Amino acid sequence: MTTIIDGNEVADGIQDGIASCVETLADEGVTPGLATVLMSDDDASETYVSMKQRTCEELGIESYHHEIAPDEPASTLFDRIDALNDDPAVHGILVQMPVPDHVEKRAVLERIDPAKDVDGFHPENVGRLVAGNARYKPCTPHGIQKLLAAYDVETEGADAVVVGRSDIVGKPMANLFIQRDAGGNATTTVCHSRTKNLAEKTRNADVLVAATGVPEMIDGEMVGEGATVIDVGVNRVEADTEKGYELVGDVEFESAKEKASAITPVPGGVGPLTIAMLMYNTVKAASLQSG
Ligand code: GUN
């Protein structure tokens, strides 16, 4: 029987722990604050940001939401980031990606005070992560580590294969897997769009993380018998539903499930963990900044 990994249940457990940290901080007169900045008309981005705000409210974290029209100049966004960097009520700042093409992504990430960079995307925080001394682990890879731990999936000595090399998921995931800590110590392969014989590599994985953004690209033929499959993809594909689309992952769930020993569904797998770990980083930021 294949285990279907329940991301909502794992995230709920983590969020209970975060809620008690928020209470402890409240006793010290500190309310953690997260600023979200959206410079996009994209429906999916709007949905993600509103889910983050809602979870803040549930946990007693103050949420400060800022919207900037996508046709504004980059300087409008930079000025807003500067103001949030200077605001002591704001402990964490998240600029939802992607930003419009006329705004240079790297300049945005570098503008955020590294102490408030709860995404962990600032080069200083990336450097700390790579050095094995992370301040804020990027939320999705950190959440995947939590999922694997919750289901007793051993990474030590395992063959971990990450498909995708994004700054948000693929690169930090691979970095966490190669580190000596619990949740790491894996022999790690990173595959991408130029990888030769991809299926040969993915079939070798004990732990397979798919983060390509290509709907259902990994099918059962590409999954080794007994592997743990973690699907990071959230792709909207046209469908005859009320909304006109359905969500599918980067993995073809039905065929991959036949081979995997455990697999995450989409939705309800990795997504809830990304939000839980963002809350975790925000509370950590509040505690570092008030301590
Ligand atoms: N866009 C997709 N995932 C993320 C994320 O984890 N953080 C930010 N800031 N933008 C994203």
The per-residue pLDDT for 291 is: 74
Closest to 95 in 3D by CA, of 289, 290, 278: 278
The per-residue pLDDT for 50 is: 98
The per-residue pLDDT for 144 is: 98
In a domain, 244, yes or no: yes
Ligand 1, atom 4, residue with closest C-alpha: 97
Ligand 1 centre and the CA of 244: distance in Å?
24
What values do phi and psi take at 251, rounded to 5?
A: -115, 140
Q: Is the pTM of this model over 0.95?
A: yes
Amino acid present at 117: D
In terms of domains, do 255 and 218 share one? yes
| Spatial separation of the C-alpha atoms in residues 59 and 81, rounded to whole Å | 24
Identified catalytic residue from 15, 96, 145, 179: 96
In terms of domains, do 158 and 72 share one? no
Ligand 1: residue of 45, 65, 139, 168 to mutate (most ligand atoms within 8 A of CB) is 168
Identified catalytic residue from 15, 116, 117, 119: 119
- Torsion on CA atoms 166, 172, 177, 180, rounded to nearest 10: 160
Stretches where the chain sits below pLDDT 70 are none
Q: Model ipTM?
A: 0.97
HSE-CB at 58 with a 13 A cutoff on CA atoms is 14
Which ligand 1 atom sits closest to the C-alpha of 139?
6
**Is 40 marked within a binding site?**
no
Place of tokens 């990450």: 162
Which ligand 1 atom sits closest to the C-alpha of 138?
6
Quote the number of domains for the chain: 2
In terms of domains, do 109 and 143 share one? no
In a domain, 285, yes or no: no
In terms of domains, do 104 and 185 share one? no
In terms of domains, do 194 and 244 share one? yes
Q: What is the 3-state secondary structure (H, E, C) of the chain?
A: CCEECCHHHHHHHHHHHHHHHHHHHHHCCCCCEEEEEECCCCHHHHHHHHHHHHHHHHHCCEEEEEECCCCCCHHHHHHHHHHHHHCCCCCEEEECCCCCCCCCHHHHHHHCCHHHCCCCCCHHHHHHHHCCCCCCCCHHHHHHHHHHHHCCCCCCCCEEEEECCCCCCHHHHHHHHHCCCCCCCCEEEEECCCCCCHHHHHHCCCEEEECCCCCCCECHHHCCCCCEEEECCCEEEECCCCCCEEEECCECHHHHHCCCCEECCCCCCCHHHHHHHHHHHHHHHHHHHHC
Exposure letters 109-140 (e unless 16+ CB within 10 A, then b): bebbbbbbbbbbbbeebbebbeeeebbbbbbb
In a domain, 287, yes or no: no
Helix pair angle (271-290, 43-59), 10° resolution: 50
In terms of domains, do 54 and 150 share one? no
In a domain, 39, yes or no: yes
In a domain, 57, yes or no: yes
Residue 278 near residue 243 (C-beta atoms within 8 A): no
In a domain, 68, yes or no: yes
Look up 96 and say whether it is catalytic: yes
Q: Which residues line ligand 1 (CB under 6 A)?
A: 94-97, 119, 139-140, 168, 274
Report the CATH number that the domain containing residue 253 is assigned in CATH: 3.40.50.720
In terms of domains, do 106 and 143 share one? no
* Burial class (CB within 10 angstroms; exposed 0-12, middle 13-18, buried 19+) of 188: buried
The per-residue pLDDT for 206 is: 98
**Is 118 marked within a binding site?**
no
The per-residue pLDDT for 241 is: 96
Ligand 1 centre and the CA of 98: distance in Å?
8
In terms of domains, do 267 and 144 share one? yes
In terms of domains, do 155 and 44 share one? no
In a domain, 133, yes or no: no
Domain that includes residue 47, residue range: 29-114
In terms of domains, do 215 and 251 share one? yes
In terms of domains, do 145 and 108 share one? no
In terms of domains, do 80 and 157 share one? no
Report the CATH number that the domain containing residue 105 is assigned in CATH: 3.40.50.10860
Ligand 1 centre and the CA of 114: distance in Å?
16
In a domain, 267, yes or no: yes
